[in-house]
Amino acid sequence: MKIETETLDYTELRRTVYRYREQFPFAAFSAVGRSWNGRALFSLKLGDPNDAVILLGGFDGRDALSPRLLLRFFEKLCVCYEEDAALSGLRIRSVFQEKGVTILPCVNPDGLEQKQTGNAHGVNLAENFKPHWSERKRLRQADDDTLFAGSVPESEPETRALLYACRRTPLRHMMVLGQGQNTVAVYAPESPQQKAEMMRNVFCAVGGFAAEPPIVSPGYGCGAAEQFVAEFHKPAFVLGVSGSLADAEAKAEETLILSCLL
């Protein structure tokens, strides 16, 4: 399904982040690393960093929707925090006195700028992680730059920057946003898998998303989610969104807020 949203490039992404930094001095802004072409992977934080979740977007450079959705979500959180207002029935300042969120709106800024799936090195960043990398490598041919898994796991600066962001502070879970069909998939450690599946069901219920069945074939899923579960033994979720920015925002907002709470 074609994503209908306004054009987003790296210049606008950077301009938006800088505007937020001036407008919301109580939030934290940094670059966790840089791409092959030197573009920043921006990190936006609100609340307690020691009890946070991480939300990621823009793995596929052709996907302008998930970065816009995450930027807009962060802006709403900050406005409600500043005004001590409610969002989806929750008082945001109270929530983020105890909880925190880290948002990387665009993991692949070079791909976003060039409007291609892979990064500037021709690697699909969603595939460039250790779990099942050998299976991914066999499944993805190197002459198909939109699917290439990289020469070795974690070969890309963007991949290493993302893992740095995950390792520097404790995280309760990960949620990856991307172009999809309004579904939620869960990746969970063996224990407590039931809790992770319950969380997925809650996310689905509040947003009207469909629950994806477990992915049983190694290498066919989201490498970032698989790595997060394998390394930190915490659950990870993949939220597929579609439609216009306004439609996706209306559908996903409560799910994103709950992801910061649970």
- Low-confidence residues of the chain: pLDDT under 70: 1-6, 137-147, 214-221
With respect to residue 42, please indicate whether it lies within any of the assigned structural domains: yes
Domain at 42, CATH number: 3.40.630.10
Please tell me the predicted confidence (pLDDT) of residue 190.
80
With respect to residue 157, please indicate whether it lies within any of the assigned structural domains: no
With respect to residue 231, please indicate whether it lies within any of the assigned structural domains: yes
Phi, psi of 119 (to 5 degrees): -80, -170
Residue keyed to tokens 């893992």: 163
Count of structural domains within the chain: 1
Please tell me the predicted confidence (pLDDT) of residue 144.
54
With respect to residue 108, please indicate whether it lies within any of the assigned structural domains: yes
With respect to residue 142, please indicate whether it lies within any of the assigned structural domains: no
Peptide bond into 214 cis (omega under 30): no
Please tell me the predicted confidence (pLDDT) of residue 4.
40
Please tell me the predicted confidence (pLDDT) of residue 106.
97
The domain of 189 spans 10-115+166-261
At 179, list the tokens.
Answer: 């172009």
Q: What is the mean pLDDT of the chain?
A: 89
pTM, full prediction: 0.92
C-beta atoms surrounding 228 within 10 Å: 28
Grouping H, G, I as helix, E, B as strand and the rest as coil, residue 256 is helix
Please tell me the predicted confidence (pLDDT) of residue 2.
37
Please tell me the predicted confidence (pLDDT) of residue 3.
36
Considering only CA atoms, which of 158, 3, 138, 133 is closest in space to residue 65?
A: 3
